[in-house]
Structure 1
Amino acid sequence: MNEELATLLEPVLRDVKATCAVRVRVREEWDAAVGGLVMLYGPDGSGAGLVPRFGASDAEQVADFADQAQDWAVEALCAELKPAVWPECPEHPDAHPLAAGVVRGVAVWSCPMSRRVVARVGELGGPVSGVVTS
């Protein structure tokens, strides 16, 4: 994986490792239509690609990757018959996930209802474990 892409993905993958109940495998692949992309695979072998958005700032790119990883996580959680909310909003448990976005040039997770910032992307709580890179 190229260094720039790895740097932008690192905080997103840290959040997945720390807080998602599904173990993820990460692999860089090539797609003729979009070029290089990173694939996230769940235990059942299903996967989703994280596609870079060229021309975006670093913070926008991190937020985009977080949003795409969230889509993967929800599908992977459903496949594992687990509650399909990731990352869970601490203000409204069991109601909705946090939303990824950019606030003052920083990629953050925030409550979509109150708009309160909960954490920077890469700083969600919990022990870090669960990613297998291949």
Structure 2
Amino acid sequence: MADVDALVDVNEPEFAAALATVLRDLQAQSAVQPELRIDPAYGPVLYAPDGSGQGLTHPRGATTGDRLANLADQVQEWAVEALWTAGVAAVWPHCPEHPNSHPLRATVVDEAAVWACPKSGAVVARIGELERTPR
């Protein structure tokens, strides 16, 4: 599992808290889990079991909800690639309204970062509050 405490050491406590929130959802509903490393040149990088990595950015000047949804989108991109590489359904998080057809979308509703169905717009959960599912 990713060690988000390492981000606090690089003076990014807000980013660390946001990443911990998103990773809680990944841990609850994904078969693949990242290893977080801090690269001196690139900053935080999520590594997949196959060794591939994806850097993470934290946009400045946006609202808290927008920053969290943006980070969730980046982690989702990492997860879909890692799932595909692992040979399992490359959908995360699963949409409960449309199983195995598309992932939920990270967005902002009423200033809160949420996971929503991209077809119906229905909000499934706040980011960080997805229910644990069997893998």
TM-score if structure 1 supplies the norm length?
0.87
Higher relative contact order (CA 8 A, sep 6+): 1
Deviations 1:97-133 (Å, cap 9, x if unpaired)? 0000100010000000000000000011117xxxxxx
Please list every run of 5 or more consecutive structure 1 residues that lacks an aligned counterpart in the other structure: 128-134
Aligned to 2:76: 70
Q: Report the number of matched residues.
A: 123
| CA distance, structure 2, for counterparts of residue 57 and residue 124 of structure 1 | 22
- Note the 1:73-84 alignment, pairs <5 A: 73-84=79-90
| CA distance, structure 1, for counterparts of residue 108 and residue 39 of structure 2 | 27
Aligned to 2:57: 51
- Contact in 2 for aligned 1:37/1:50 (Cα 8 Å): yes
Query: Deviation above 4 Å: which 4+ runs of structure 1?
Result: none
> Counting strand residues as a fraction of each chain, which structure ranks higher?
1
| CA distance, structure 2, for counterparts of residue 28 and residue 108 of structure 1 | 27
Aligned to 1:10: 20
Deviation of 1:96 (Å): 0.4
| CA distance, structure 2, for counterparts of residue 125 and residue 119 of structure 1 | 8
Please list every run of 5 or more consecutive structure 2 residues that lacks an aligned counterpart in the other structure: 1-6
Identity level (%): 50
- Contact in 2 for aligned 1:37/1:52 (Cα 8 Å): no
What is the root-mean-square deviation of aligned Cα atoms in Å? Answer: 1.3
The one-letter code matched in structure 1 to 2:39 is E
TM-score if structure 2 supplies the norm length?
0.86
Deviations 1:24-53 (Å, cap 9, x if unpaired)? 11122333xxxx632111111111111111
The one-letter code matched in structure 2 to 1:11 is T
